[in-house]
Structure 1
């Protein structure tokens, strides 16, 4: 008898998915008419001037330009790519001291292995951090801690990434007291900073409860049956669970290493608020952190270099994906069709009834975020259209800001064009296909919450 092998569908690699999106973007430059808006500089950012769209000569992307856009995407994304590599190296140095593993084992021992409590606490901590707009791209640095905790709790890498990254995006999606993205959107809408916080706060707690429940139910499921896990540590090349004995007790030196790392992170957060530090400063802080941790941890100079390089090598995959994702935007911008897409989307909205128009704003931001994943970048492009549209349809400007925020935050947890998401998955060694399967139901739940919250805003005349 001959066995017939059934060909199973295999989810494409992240590189394949994003390259497919890149090809679609190239086709758009041939199909869509080219056009652009005039822009003005507001607080150092180029903001679109509503009503200034005009058609221009088409500039379709050539075969060579398609591939040079990848190189350009890598160049444009250089700050975040090198930041990711430096974070990988720095975290590798700190992990080499044994401080993270021993510290997590000590934490689990003191909490008497309260698995659900620890996972819920991690989700809440990172949600609160971005509730006030603190962590941002620095969230990449915390992924190894989530992975170590998940491994020590005998869970899987997806839980390690989820409790940190999804926790953060609960805060991002609502932006209750976020001075950066919410602040920019409200500035363009000429609203007082943080005004309307009460409805965003309600949305924050709803999303936090849903996300926490979703992750904890997944934890419960894999505890009952390991085959239900979407990704085991063996598949990522990591041991299932490290014993506390391997790393020894949580010593004074370990504590000093972690306190040193914490001091540098606190310095960066202080710099963000006081001196407007960004990606380059974060990379510099992590280089200094790794050197200080090596000195405190007793790592020799040559050993430090070897460990740092090895840590950086582990996330080269994710670093390159970031550049490929950026190439999609490069093609749309160079082909002059990005503004055409925005203009075409907002014109029909003006003909919709008030309730449907508000929901259409939310859905548009939800989908447009798959192209422009930067919150500030998206605000600079779409808010100048949403404000006059809201005024014309008698929708409050606060509702327009809420539609933008919920749309911007929701699809960031699944968008393959998000450089930060790809970096996070690279650090956690989680394939995008596995993450997509895990997070898709949650994206749908968040979307339903967004629709409901926007409906409430319209019905209550949200101010």
Structure 2
């Protein structure tokens, strides 16, 4: 029997149990807190930690923690119901957009127009996938594009690995440099008690520089194997891959980008633009953002004449696709519930304060990045990791004089970097399986790029921390 790595749900629940056990042995303590005018929240005061009476958590508390993670009547700060509902609404919205075929057709048309000039499709398609990753966390949705892109890349004289790199690295670098991604940036900023627009300039720089590095890296590999196919990392699998995609390689793509599709794409883009305006200047949060996406979904339904029954089914199915993400948010927030109830959260913060408070801001933010990299292996879910780590990591930044937006950027960059090769991430293993690229071949291909991206991230975080 082969070992199977547990899912994020099991990992998070085991962490709840482990931390509950910790409340029996870890000293209970609390900081004094003061109101932060800018954040509008109470934050711990460095140097005021003191031990308090212990409140160890038992089996019943462990079972109640995920429920309280969604709605905790004793601590609204620990509740995640607003974020979870917003995620479900986003899922419904994306389901409606995907059902129209506008995104698929747009990419298909780009492929047709660039036939014979596929080399220049690499930066364009990677930019489109990066846009999807940065704005709405494109991940599982990308799996649908492999069968479309692989035969075109092979027919152009490349290999299936080039197609994998375009999709996986494109969407992945978008998630790594998330700007308004509701499943990473928004949730993490919410957990860190800051507006998600803080730090967007640095994240845009990481997004662009990371995208550029990926494009250059993939184009150099594509050019190399175009000149000498024997240099392909998957050269020994070429016959098998060509046999699987032989029909698609000789098929003409007759998809037409209709007026309806163009309108849907405009509505899709405007929805995220309005969301940024609402949050940054009108004080919107989860409820109003959710209403915006509902309204946009309905508008798209009218434009495409979807029909009430069809629209409802598509929206519900889209929400169902992200139900797991919503559940993860509640379970992960349950960790905070147990730690707070057991008076252990401030004890961990105190340990972090003693350990990290003497470090310079540059060393501190890079240490945070390293911690998030390690945690991402065990919790590949961006939303799960956000609500798991941000409530602890963000206050530590206050002690070290580092802006919380840098901690959010460090978290999402670390998670995005690891999820470019993480074997526990279904998007990685699924895409490689479709393209018939062995996992170890992908590692051989991508590891130099990972080092380059790591240097870009750490350099950006270091400069931002130094000049802050």
Alignment TM-score > 0.5, same fold: yes
Residues 113-132 of structure 1: pairs in structure 2 closer than 5 A: 117-118=120-121, 120-121=123-124
The aligned residue for residue 182 of structure 2 is none
Task: Give how far 1:16 is off.
Answer: 2.1
2:299 is aligned, of 273, 292, 296, to 292
Q: What 5-or-longer segments of structure 1 have no aligned partner?
A: 1-6, 173-177, 188-192, 228-232, 235-239, 388-396
Task: Give how far 1:80 is off.
Answer: 2.3
Please state whether the residue corresponding to 1:336 is helix, strand or coil.
coil
The aligned residue for residue 23 of structure 1 is 17
- Report if aligned partners of 2:80, 2:330 keep a CA contact under 8 Å in 1: yes
TM-score when scaled to structure 2? 0.67
1:275 is aligned, of 269, 276, 282, to 282
- Report if aligned partners of 1:119, 1:163 keep a CA contact under 8 Å in 2: no
Please state whether the residue corresponding to 2:177 is helix, strand or coil.
helix
1:382 is aligned, of 386, 396, 402, to 396
Count of residues in correspondence between the two structures: 403
The aligned residue for residue 136 of structure 2 is 139
Instruction: Decide whether aligned partners of structure 1 residues 326 and 160 sit closer, same or farther in structure 2, where only a CA change above 3 A counts.
Output: farther
The aligned residue for residue 320 of structure 2 is 313
Instruction: Decide whether aligned partners of structure 1 residues 277 and 363 sit closer, same or farther in structure 2, where only a CA change above 3 A counts.
Output: same
The aligned residue for residue 390 of structure 1 is none
Please state whether the residue corresponding to 1:284 is helix, strand or coil.
helix
The aligned residue for residue 93 of structure 1 is 96
2:35 is aligned, of 36, 41, 63, to 41
Instruction: Decide whether aligned partners of structure 1 residues 64 and 92 sit closer, same or farther in structure 2, where only a CA change above 3 A counts.
Output: same
Task: Give how far 1:60 is off.
Answer: 1.6
Instruction: Decide whether aligned partners of structure 1 residues 115 and 84 sit closer, same or farther in structure 2, where only a CA change above 3 A counts.
Output: farther
- Report if aligned partners of 2:109, 2:257 keep a CA contact under 8 Å in 1: yes
Instruction: Decide whether aligned partners of structure 1 residues 61 and 170 sit closer, same or farther in structure 2, where only a CA change above 3 A counts.
Output: same
The aligned residue for residue 4 of structure 1 is none
Instruction: Decide whether aligned partners of structure 1 residues 414 and 72 sit closer, same or farther in structure 2, where only a CA change above 3 A counts.
Output: farther
- Report if aligned partners of 1:272, 1:278 keep a CA contact under 8 Å in 2: yes
The aligned residue for residue 60 of structure 1 is 56
Whole-Å separation in 1 of the counterparts to 2:250 and 2:286: 33
Whole-Å separation in 1 of the counterparts to 2:265 and 2:203: 34
Q: Is residue 8 from structure 1 mapped to residue 15 from structure 2 by the alignment? A: no
Please state whether the residue corresponding to 2:386 is helix, strand or coil.
coil
The aligned residue for residue 79 of structure 1 is 82
User: What are the Cα deviations for residues 209-248 of structure 1, in whole angstroms up to 9, with x where unaligned?
Assistant: 5555677799987875769xxxxx99xxxxx9997758x4
- Report if aligned partners of 2:164, 2:431 keep a CA contact under 8 Å in 1: no
Instruction: Decide whether aligned partners of structure 1 residues 446 and 77 sit closer, same or farther in structure 2, where only a CA change above 3 A counts.
Output: farther
Whole-Å separation in 1 of the counterparts to 2:250 and 2:322: 22
User: What are the Cα deviations for residues 263-311 of structure 1, in whole angstroms up to 9, with x where unaligned?
Assistant: 3232222222221323322221111111111111111111211221222
Whole-Å separation in 2 of the counterparts to 1:308 and 1:242: 35
Task: Give how far 1:321 is off.
Answer: 2.0
- Report if aligned partners of 1:90, 1:308 keep a CA contact under 8 Å in 2: yes
Instruction: Decide whether aligned partners of structure 1 residues 301 and 446 sit closer, same or farther in structure 2, where only a CA change above 3 A counts.
Output: same
- Report if aligned partners of 1:268, 1:282 keep a CA contact under 8 Å in 2: yes
Task: Give how far 1:381 is off.
Answer: 0.5
The aligned residue for residue 259 of structure 1 is 266
Whole-Å separation in 2 of the counterparts to 1:125 and 1:85: 24
Please state whether the residue corresponding to 1:64 is helix, strand or coil.
helix
- Report if aligned partners of 2:125, 2:166 keep a CA contact under 8 Å in 1: no
The aligned residue for residue 69 of structure 1 is 65
Whole-Å separation in 2 of the counterparts to 1:8 and 1:180: 35
Residues 37-436 of structure 1: pairs in structure 2 closer than 5 A: 37-42=31-36, 43-75=39-71, 76-112=79-115, 117-118=120-121, 120-121=123-124, 138-140=135-137, 142-143=138-139, 146-154=142-150, 160=167, 162-170=169-177, 207-209=210-212, 248-349=255-356, 358-359=362-363, 362-364=366-368, 366-367=370-371, 370=375, 373=386, 377=391, 380-387=394-401, 404=407, 407-413=410-416
- Report if aligned partners of 1:91, 1:144 keep a CA contact under 8 Å in 2: no
Task: Give how far 1:143 is off.
Answer: 4.9
Q: What 5-or-longer segments of structure 2 have no aligned partner?
A: 72-78, 151-159, 180-184, 226-231, 239-243, 376-383, 434-438
Task: Give how far 1:24 is off.
Answer: 2.3
Whole-Å separation in 2 of the counterparts to 1:415 and 1:57: 40
Instruction: Decide whether aligned partners of structure 1 residues 451 and 164 sit closer, same or farther in structure 2, where only a CA change above 3 A counts.
Output: closer
TM-score when scaled to structure 1? 0.68
Whole-Å separation in 1 of the counterparts to 2:204 and 2:267: 34
